[in-house]
Every structure is written in structure tokens, then in C-alpha cells.
């Protein structure tokens, strides 16, 4: 009997196997924060016993002056600390504004997804795209799909592969372009998306550790995000056409497109109804915003942008737009028959948030405990002094922060979970070194996204491998990694340079 020896693995395959083994041992994000809470409790007791404290200059919101302040570590294993943990659990969760933001947003987005509006829009754009502009349109739509991330992964990526093969191009190139757009550009958009609300609230909680009167709003990164969308659309498209497709060569597989990309008459009617619904909502919001003395203007200054009810209610407006457009599409396309179907879609969307709400419950306790112990202030002040003594430029601090997020994203892919860890430390630290919190959040967006398309810990990574196997029978994890590495490397370098240039030119980060 002849034994056929398995071919030896390349260095890259060995590295990927190691990453996969390590990744399989990483616990659930909920358990990660449970462990972190345990660490905070023990560390607070140690620092409290050692009498750790710092003295620093801080802004006094009452006197509006910079004054000397002193902060000492507080142990959670004292009588007061234990009382706080037991009596504050519900209130800590209720005070975590991110919970309300995501639920309100997903009520509207959930209706649009359940009705089929998001899928129909993506398919429509793919069908009408000119062949020469196909890559750019698919990438642009992929980046925008972060407003409903599941639709991007589940609909756009397989459709992109089918669209490429339908025009004689390699389907894996289309798959790679869409995957890079959906995953590696996840935290930027030309729209305000639900995750922005959560990141903003976590950022504001961190800002208040330094200045209780300072905060940012949902549009704090809007200009940087829009600029990034343009950059990444061009970058991902060029990489696809100049690097990925030449490497793949002509497609020689036998897979045939099943002709599933077209829209039915009902879907076209649904899109028309959705357009009418969107115009109606815009008219309604304009009526509440544009006239002098309108309810959504600042009651004192009359301003619309900045500190105004309009800006503070953006999540409500977004939810309303998706709710009305989704319901209108559903009625037009016949996927929804009445109010019961709309309410059912809302219930399904909220039910789908169960895992996220559980995660947010644990995160809210972690943040509350971390803030109670004063460890964020102690760490920020201590690190600020070290960095100040090193005389590092703010630019290098931002770049270093991006690199740290790059590395950690390989093992913790959840954007919200990582920011909940980083924000209480890095926002106060960098603020004390003269860097705006808007810039820190923008740097986090750059650091968090690129690695999403190469880490096997991405919840959708295995599904992408399955999509690839449909077109190339011997495809595997290494195939997808090899496809995505050029995107990750180029995006990481160019986008970081883009961030640095934005900072050096002192361009506004948002509204």
C-alpha cells in the first residue's frame, strides 16, 4: 500500500494555522469583559492598598479655569465598592446610552432589511452598473453597506462575484473587492450609521473623565469619513484591477451564473414606493428643521448644525427614514401586507439584538467599574507624563495608536468591544496631550477596519471561504487570506498616511 505524503506547508500556511488555533481559544466577547471586570476589581484593590494617586491640572466647569486636582485609586473590594457593584448594576446599564441608540436605529433598519429593501437596492445598483465602472460601484456600495452590515456580507459579496463572472471577469476578484469594501472599510460611511451612535457615546463617557462639559456628536467624524470613503473606493478598486485580477488570470472554472441578479416587477414597484416614502420623510424633516423657530433648531441660537435638536436626534431621523422606506417598499413589493408585518419586522430586529444587548450589559458594568476606580485617570495622567517627557509629536501618537488597534483587531474583531477598552484610556491621555477626541475616534476608525478581512475570527470569514469554494473547488482559508493581504497592507499604509495628512493640515474632522 502506497502512502502519499501530504505536501509540506508553506510558512504562510503555518502562520495562518497558528492564528486559527489561537483564535479558537479566544473566549466569547461577553466572557472577555467578565474577565476584564475581574481584573479591574483585583487591580483596584491593589492600587487602593498602595495608595496610588496623581496630581494634575484639570478644567473646572464651575470656575471655567484650569486648577490643580488630585485623584486617588478607589478599591472595589471596600464596603463602598461592593455596595456600588450590587446597587448600581441596573443604573449602570440604564445610563449606558449606547443601548437606546442601537435599539432605536435598528427598529428602522430592521424593517428595511426584513422588507427586502436593502437587498433590492444592492441588486439594482449591480445590474445598472456600466462594465468599466462595475468595480468602483460595487466597492462604493460595499462601503455604504455598513449601515446594515449583514446585508453587505450576505448579499453584496456573492452578488459581486456573480456580477464579475457575468461580464467575463474572475469571480474571486469580485468577491475580494466586495469583501474588502464591506470589512476593511467598515467604520466609515457617507451616512451616519448605528455604530456611530455607540462609538460616540463611549467616546463622550471617556471625554467626561477629563472635561465633564465637553462632548462630541454623531457628526464628529463626518468629513473625515466621507473623505475616507472616496479614498478607499478608489484604492480598493485599483488594487482589484491592477493586482488581484492579473494574479488570478482568466477564469477557467465551470460555474455558471444562475441569472439571479435581475429585479422583478414587484421589486421595481417597491423601489418606487420607497423613493416616494423617502421624499415624504425628507419633506417632513425639512418642515421640522428649516423654518425659523422650527422645533429641531437650537431654541436660543436658531442653529441647525452643532448643538441643536436636529443633530441630537439624527438617530431618530435615520430610523424614521429606514422605517418609512422599508414599509413603503414592503407594501409595493408585496413582502409586507400591513402594519402587523411592519411590527413583526421591528420585533425580529430587536430580537436579533439579544446578543449585542447582553454584551452591552457587561460592557456598561466594565466602564462603570473602571470609572469608579479612577484607574483611567491614573493611567492617562501617568502615561501622559511619560509621553510628554519623550517629547513625541501628536502625529506619532496618533500613528502609534492606529498600529496598536491594527494588532489587537486580529484577535478582537468587535469594534464596540475594543473601543470600550481603549476609549477610557486613550481619549483622556491624548486629550491631555492636545489631541482632539474627534481625532482619536478617527484614528480608531482607521485602525479597526483593515484587518477585518484577514482574521479568521471575523464572524463571516468562514462564510467567505464557502463562497470562494463555489467558484474554485480547492479554495480554503489560505486562498482568501492571499486574496485579501494586498488590500490589508495597502489600505493600512495609505489610510494611516491619509489620517496623518488630515491631522497635519488641521482639516475639520466633522460638523
What value does the CA radius of gyration of the chain take, rounded to a whole number of Å? 25
User: Residue 66: which residues within 8 A CB-CB, separation 6 or more?
Assistant: 57, 58, 59, 60
Interval 395-445: pLDDT, tens? 888 888 888 888 878 766 778 877 877 788 788 888 877 889 999 999 999
Q: What is the pLDDT of residue 175?
A: 94
User: Residue 266: which residues within 8 A CB-CB, separation 6 or more?
Assistant: 332, 333, 334
Segments of the chain with pLDDT less than 70: 1-26, 56-66, 122, 125-126, 148-151, 255-262, 306-307, 380, 383-384, 387-388, 391, 411-412, 456-457, 459
Taking alpha carbons only, the member of 38, 40, 30 closest to residue 425 is 40
Q: What is the pLDDT of residue 45?
A: 95
Question: Can you tell me the distance from the alpha carbon of 155 to that of 149, in angstroms, rounded to the nearest whole number?
Answer: 10
Q: What is the pLDDT of residue 16?
A: 45
Strand partners, 59: 66
Question: Can you tell me the distance from the alpha carbon of 508 to that of 439, in angstroms, rounded to the nearest whole number?
Answer: 9
Q: What is the pLDDT of residue 234?
A: 96
| Phi–psi pair at 254, nearest 5 degrees | -110, 10
DSSP 68: E
Interval 486-497: pLDDT, tens? 899 999 999 999
Residue with cell 479591574: 40
Q: What is the pLDDT of residue 101?
A: 75
Q: What is the pLDDT of residue 495?
A: 96
Taking alpha carbons only, the member of 145, 228, 213 closest to residue 450 is 228
Look up the pTM and report it. 0.69
Amino acid at each position: 500500500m502506497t502512502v502519499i505524503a501530504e505536501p509540506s506547508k508553506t510558512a504562510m500556511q503555518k502562520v495562518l494555522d497558528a492564528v486559527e488555533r489561537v483564535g479558537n481559544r479566544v473566549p466569547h466577547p461577553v466572557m472577555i469583559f467578565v474577565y476584564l471586570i475581574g481584573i479591574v476589581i483585583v487591580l483596584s484593590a491593589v492600587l487602593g492598598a498602595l495608595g496610588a494617586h496623581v496630581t494634575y491640572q484639570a478644567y473646572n466647569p464651575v470656575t471655567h479655569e484650569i486648577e490643580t486636582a488630585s485623584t486617588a485609586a478607589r478599591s472595589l473590594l471596600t464596603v463602598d465598592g461592593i455596595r456600588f457593584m450590587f446597587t448600581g448594576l441596573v443604573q449602570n446599564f440604564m445610563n449606558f446610552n449606547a443601548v437606546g441608540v442601537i435599539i432605536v436605529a435598528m427598529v428602522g433598519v430592521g424593517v428595511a432589511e426584513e422588507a427586502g429593501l436593502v437587498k433590492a437596492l444592492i441588486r439594482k445598483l449591480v445590474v445598472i452598473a456600466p462594465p468599466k465602472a462595475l468595480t468602483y460601484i460595487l466597492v462604493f456600495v460595499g462601503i455604504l453597506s455598513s449601515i446594515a452590515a449583514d446585508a453587505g456580507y450576505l448579499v453584496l459579496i456573492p452578488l459581486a462575484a456573480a456580477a464579475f463572472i457575468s461580464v467575463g471577469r474572475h469571480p474571486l476578484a469580485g468577491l475580494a473587492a466586495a469583501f474588502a469594501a464591506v470589512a476593511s472599510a467598515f467604520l466609515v460611511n457617507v451616512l451616519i450609521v448605528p455604530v456611530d451612535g455607540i462609538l460616540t457615546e463611549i467616546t463622550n463617557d471617556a471625554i467626561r473623565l477629563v472635561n465633564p462639559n465637553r462632548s462630541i456628536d454623531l457628526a464628529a467624524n463626518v468629513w473625515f469619513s466621507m473623505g475616507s470613503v472616496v479614498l478607499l473606493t478608489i484604492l480598493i478598486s485599483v488594487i482589484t484591477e491592477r493586482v488581484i485580477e492579473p494574479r488570478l488570470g482568466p477564469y477557467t472554472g465551470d460555474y455558471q451564473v444562475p441569472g439571479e441578479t435581475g429585479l422583478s416587477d414587484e421589486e421595481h414597484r417597491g423601489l418606487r414606493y420607497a423613493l416616494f416614502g423617502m421624499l415624504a420623510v425628507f419633506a417632513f424633516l425639512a418642515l421640522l428643521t428649516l423654518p425659523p423657530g422650527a422645533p429641531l433648531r437650537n431654541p436660543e441660537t436658531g442653529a441647525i448644525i452643532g448643538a441643536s435638536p436636529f443633530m441630537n436626534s439624527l438617530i431618530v431621523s435615520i430610523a424614521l427614514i429606514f422605517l418609512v422606506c422599508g414599509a413603503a417598499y414592503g407594501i409595493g413589493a408585496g413582502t409586507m401586507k400591513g402594519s402587523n408585518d411592519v411590527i413583526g419586522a421591528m420585533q425580529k430586529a430587536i430580537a436579533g439584538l439579544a446578543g449585542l444587548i447582553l454584551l452591552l450589559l457587561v460592557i456598561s458594568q466594565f466602564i462603570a467599574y473602571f470609572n469608579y476606580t479612577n484607574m483611567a485617570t491614573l493611567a492617562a495622567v501617568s502615561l501622559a507624563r511619560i509621553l510628554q517627557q519623550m517629547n513625541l509629536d501628536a502625529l506619532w501618537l496618533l500613528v502609534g495608536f492606529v498600529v496598536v488597534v491594527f494588532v489587537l483587531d486580529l484577535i478582537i474583531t468587535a469594534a464596540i468591544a475594543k473601543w470600550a477598552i481603549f476609549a477610557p484610556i486613550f481619549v483622556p491621555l491624548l486629550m491631555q496631550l492636545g489631541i482632539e477626541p474627534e481625532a482619536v475616534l478617527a484614528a480608531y476608525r482607521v485602525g479597526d477596519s483593515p484587518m477585518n478581512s484577514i482574521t479568521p475570527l471575523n464572524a463571516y470569514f468562514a462564510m467567505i471561504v464557502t463562497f470562494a469554494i463555489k467558484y474554485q473547488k480547492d479554495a480554503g482559508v489560505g486562498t482568501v487570506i492571499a486574496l485579501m493581504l494586498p488590500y490589508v497592507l495597502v489600505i493600512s499604509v495609505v489610510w494611516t498616511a491619509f489620517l496623518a495628512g488630515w491631522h497635519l493640515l488641521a482639516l475639520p474632522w466633522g460638523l
